[in-house]
């Protein structure tokens, strides 16, 4: 399923992509708490002011062991700095995309022809943020009781984002929603 959808296209106000993020340190001991609050509410405090933001957090890095060894002896978040090892922090990640499942860039992926102007793409993505495709799940499926509130939010946002990218005209069918839902559930798991 992971190879069916391109992993670089993720939407989200608080959509997180985590592979691994080693080497960070905080001068402010509240750094992780600030990030947790932002990922939960979309806002952060500066002095007395509360500021809303619409940026995503993306954590990218490398694991230092073979995947099968790491999973047997620890967990996939183990390479994060000790200050960031916090289950509530990790629970706010909407998706974990394992980099080892993403094909490496190869010369044949590039072109000498015309391409898409990045400014145009950025404007299109900004406009698409105004639309919500999250109700597509409810149109065809019902999420089970095994998902908690954070799981439901993460899966709904991921499905909405994937549908916006793949079907911006909202002409998707049950099978399209199913594929996006399966991907979102797997990335959340």
Q: Can you read off the two tokens belonging to residue 176?
A: 């399209």
What is the C-alpha R_g of the chain? 18
What's the domain count of the chain? 1
In a domain, 93, yes or no: yes
> Model's pTM, two decimal places?
0.75
Alpha-carbon gap, residue 110 to 132, rounded angstroms: 32
* Residue closest to 158 by CA, chosen among 60, 11, 41: 11
In a domain, 32, yes or no: yes
In a domain, 183, yes or no: yes
User: Which of the listed ranges 9-13, 105-109, 111-115, 159-163 does the model predict with the highest average pLDDT?
Assistant: 159-163
The model's confidence at residue 171, banded by pLDDT at 50, 70 and 90, is very high
In a domain, 111, yes or no: no
The domain of 171 spans 2-104+116-188
In a domain, 44, yes or no: yes
In a domain, 109, yes or no: no
Alpha-carbon gap, residue 77 to 181, rounded angstroms: 24
Structure confidence by residue, pLDDT tens digits, 77-135: 887 888 888 888 888 899 988 888 888 888 988 888 887 788 888 899 889 989 989 89
The model's confidence at residue 3, banded by pLDDT at 50, 70 and 90, is very low
In a domain, 21, yes or no: yes
Q: Do 134 and 177 contact (CB within 8 A), yes or no? A: no
Q: Do 188 and 154 contact (CB within 8 A), yes or no? A: yes
- Checking DSSP bridges between strand 57-59 and strand 43-46, what pairing results, if any? unpaired
In a domain, 168, yes or no: yes
Alpha-carbon gap, residue 54 to 116, rounded angstroms: 24
What's phi and psi for 45, nearest 5 deg? -105, 140
Q: Do 76 and 101 contact (CB within 8 A), yes or no? A: no
């Amino acid at each position: 399923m992971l190879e069916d959808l391109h992993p670089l296209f993720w939407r989200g106000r608080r959509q997180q992509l985590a592979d691994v993020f080693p080497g960070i340190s905080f001068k402010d001991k509240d750094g992780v708490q600030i990030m947790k609050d932002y990922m939960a509410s979309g806002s952060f405090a500066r002095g007395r002011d509360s500021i809303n933001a619409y940026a995503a957090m993306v954590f990218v890095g490398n694991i230092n062991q073979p995947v099968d060894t790491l999973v047997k002896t620890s967990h996939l978040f183990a390479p994060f700095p000790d200050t960031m090892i916090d289950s509530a922090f990790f629970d706010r990640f909407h998706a974990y995309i394992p980099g080892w499942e993403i094909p490496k860039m190869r010369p044949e992926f590039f072109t000498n022809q015309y391409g898409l102007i990045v400014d145009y793409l950025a404007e299109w993505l900004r406009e698409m943020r105004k639309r919500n495709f999250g109700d597509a799940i409810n149109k065809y499926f019902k999420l089970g009781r095994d998902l908690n509130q954070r799981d439901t939010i993460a899966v709904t946002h991921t499905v909405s984002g994937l549908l916006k990218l793949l079907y911006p005209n909202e002409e998707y069918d049950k099978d399209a929603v199913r594929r996006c839902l399966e991907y979102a559930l797997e990335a959340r798991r």
